[in-house]
Amino acid sequence: MGVLERIVGRFRPRELRLDWAQIEVTTRCNAHCVYCPRTQAGTAWRNRDLDFGLFSRLLPQLSRTAHLHLQGWGEPLLHPHLLEMIRAAHAQGLRTGTTTNGVLLTPELAVELVRSGLDMLAVSLAGTGPAHDAARPGAGLDAALAAMDALVAARARLHFATPALHVAYMLLRGAEDELEALPRLLEGRGVSTVVVSTLDYVAAPDLTHLAFTDPGEIAAVRARLSRLAAALASRDVALVYRLPGRHEAAQCPENPTRALVVDAAGGVSPCVYTCIPAAPPHPAAALRLSFGSAEEEGLAAIWQRPGYAAFRAAWQARQTRDADGYGTKERKEAEQATQRPEDGQDKGPLPRPCDECAKRFVS
């Protein structure tokens, strides 16, 4: 059996088992974050909600999924059936989370979210002061903090330990100083984990100044984050981060060999960066990478499609090039064997969306 056959064979499972699945419940949003592709796309953006019937049909197919995250490029709390989705997932035994800007998270809704069985809720921040409000018009810092407080109060009122409260922190270049106030800002707010991201997808040329590219600046940020980790740890808060750089990573943080995304239209993609819902001629439309429609076919069948299996095999060849006793020559052979253009993708070891993605590089 050849190298490619051995690798691709691993990705034709009898049963779909995933580390996580991300279900985009809506592409609509009540905020206008300056760095978001939705804001920059304008009228090219496709606003839609995931059909609740489709979601109900997806759940049995995800029974062996470790985590189900109900969020994509929109604000999940705008979906009229979000609570029903969470309850249905919880009833099936799925660990479920979502991410919100907090604007709609009233004390009353917080109680319903706690009762729904939601396991994790992340609130988005992009600073601890003026930087947040400047970057996230329509989703101010006060609203985000009020949402955290409402959730913690609801947990206490109902004597629930869940959902765990996380912070999804977007660190933009120029806003590094506001990191210093984060431990104090989160004091007493019940946050267990802070996940810091940087601007991986630059939605417009005039936003490049918000992304970290200079090695010296990245090193300085790493030092800041190291100090922040210690300060948060003293308050029993974990800090998770990954910084950009110039070294190609063997493993994509979006975990394309063990995870998938179903977008609000039902398309199945490796990650959210390959399913930005912008219409042509918007540049994001050319980077879409969909292997099938969950409206038309089961997830396991889509997962087993030759094109999808070959895509994952290309990533696996990078991640485990020594696992089966083959080295650089065999890795190149495997990657070259997957250079078959499908769905309009360019030739290469990886499809164009992955080849051009900033997440491929780490410091």
Tally of CB atoms within 10 A around 136: 26
Q: What angle do CA 320, 8, 269 make, to 5 degrees?
A: 90
Q: What is the mean pLDDT of residues 38-65?
A: 96
d(CA 289, CA 274): 5
* H helices present in 136-214, as ranges: 141-158, 182-186
pLDDT per residue as tens digits for the range 147-197: 999 999 999 999 999 999 999 999 999 999 999 999 999 999 999 999 999
Secondary structure of 232-277 in HEC code, one letter for each residue: HHCCCCEEEECCCCCEECCCCCCCCCCEEEECCCCEEECCHHHCCC
312, 327 contact by CB (below 8 A): no
**Residue with the two structure tokens 């409402």:** 150
Mean pLDDT across the chain: 89
pLDDT in tens, 278-329: 999 888 998 899 999 999 999 999 999 999 999 999 888 877 653 443 334 4
**Crossing angle of helices 328-337/306-319, nearest 10°?**
160
For the record, the structure tokens of 173 come out as 């270049």
List the single range of 49-53, 137-141, 152-156, 324-328 with lowest mean pLDDT.
324-328
On the question of pLDDT at 232 being above 90, the answer is yes
Q: What is the pLDDT of residues 8-21, one digit of tens each?
A: 455 444 579 999 99
Name the nearest CA neighbour of 52 among 91, 26, 13. 26
How far apart CA 166 and CA 7 sit, in angstroms, is 36
Lowest mean pLDDT among 25-34, 80-89, 305-314, 332-341: 332-341
pLDDT band at 2 (very low <50, low <70, confident <90, very high): low
Tell me what the mean pLDDT of segment 22-34 comes to: 98
- Supply the pLDDT for residue 210: 97
Number of CB atoms found within 10 A of residue 29's CB: 21
CA pair distance 72, 87, nearest whole angstrom: 19
- pTM of the predicted model as reported, rounded to 2 decimal places: 0.88
State the pLDDT confidence band at 337, using cuts at 50, 70 and 90. Answer: very low
d(CA 54, CA 58): 6
Nearest to 10 by CA among 347, 356, 245, 311: 311
Largest CA distance in the chain: 61
Residue 49 pLDDT:
98
What is the average pLDDT across 243-271? 91
